[in-house]
Amino acid sequence: MTSRRKFMAMSAAAVAGTLLAGGSASADDELEFPYNVAFTKKHQGHWEGKAGSHVPEIEVTDTEIIITTPHPMSESHYIVRHTLVDSKGNPIGAHTFAPTDKYAVSRYPRPSKGKKFYATSFCNLHDLWVEKFKI
């Protein structure tokens, strides 16, 4: 691995895919994954109170999916990566950010309708955050 940043970015994508693909369906049809490894609005774990600036926000248009994480970007604290995966954990796309990027916003072509998806946002200090959505 050529840099810690590249390692972290690749690790976030690998963890997201592995956790989501390896999960099992619960009664409410949500994939289960170990909390305090990946975080959600509902399950913030030891990062309680951090969801507002770490959970990815999703916008779906006729042609694309836009993922935004409303998080400040600085050399010491920034969003490293967004990943978009389907309900089976298959990656659809990913974008790695630099601490010098002004915003954490990524865009992906819109897949076919009627499917469940997960957007992930990985913070260099506050770990991996996941948001489930349907189109």
CATH no. for residue 42?
A: 2.60.40.730
Q: Domain range holding 80?
A: 4-134
The amino acid sitting at 54 is: H
| Structure confidence at residue 52 (pLDDT) | 96
Tell me how many domains the chain contains.
1
User: Counting every residue, how long is the chain?
Assistant: 135
Q: What is the pLDDT of residue 104?
A: 98
Going by the DSSP 8-state scheme, the letter that residue 4 receives in this structure is H
Residues of the chain with pLDDT below 70 are 1-35, 113-114
Provide the 3-class DSSP secondary structure of residue 72: coil
Question: What local confidence, expressed as pLDDT, does residue 130 receive?
Answer: 96
pLDDT at 1: 43
pTM value > 0.85: no
Task: For residue 63, give both structure tokens.
Answer: 């042609």
Three-state DSSP state, 29: coil
